[in-house]
Amino acid sequence: MKRGPTKKLEGRYIIIEVAPDGEPIAPEAAAKKYIRQSGCLVRDHIPISIRLWKAYNPSEQRNAVPEREKEWHWNELKKNFTVPAESEESAKHWTLSKMAEQLQTFKKNLTKNYIKKGKTPEFTRDFAKQKDH
């Protein structure tokens, strides 16, 4: 049986330990939820028509996720998770990098499972929020 998509979390989780690179590591259950939730936010709120996470030159700016959008995603994640104050900047940097990776993986899987097979996804349940894009 296929695992269903991650849903928006309810409740509050406290991350008590963050690795030097910013990755949440303890408690393990909360850290896993943190990573899954960041992916959920990316899949639900960033249009698949966005090509890049970060623009490397001005001509790519309109095809990249705006900084305010990244900030919004970080703030949404912080509504359910608390990270140690001294690690917040490194956690934010790591999280935004992870979100970039999750967006690319999501788009790669859509390409592999639908475009290369000549299929169109049903824009219900998993893809309902992407229908317009």
Cβ proximity of 74 and 92 under 8 Å: yes
Rounded to whole angstroms, the Cα distance separating 62 from 44 reads 20
Q: What is the pTM of this model?
A: 0.82
The type of residue at 112 is K
Query: What are the angstrom distances between the C-alpha of 117 and each of 2, 18, 31, 33, 103?
Result: 19, 41, 35, 32, 21
> Which uninterrupted H or E stretch holds 89?
helix 88-110
For the residues 109-126, what does the mean pLDDT come to? 73
- Residue 25's pLDDT band, with cuts at 50, 70 and 90, is very high
Radius of gyration of the chain (CA): 16
Name the DSSP class of 51. -
Number of domains present in the structure of the chain: 1
Domain containing residue 90? 13-130
- Residue 9's pLDDT band, with cuts at 50, 70 and 90, is confident
Domain assignment present for residue 7? The answer is no
Domain assignment present for residue 125? The answer is yes
Domain assignment present for residue 3? The answer is no
Q: Residue 83, Cα to own-chain centre: how many angstroms?
A: 17
pLDDT of residue 133: 46
Domain assignment present for residue 1? The answer is no
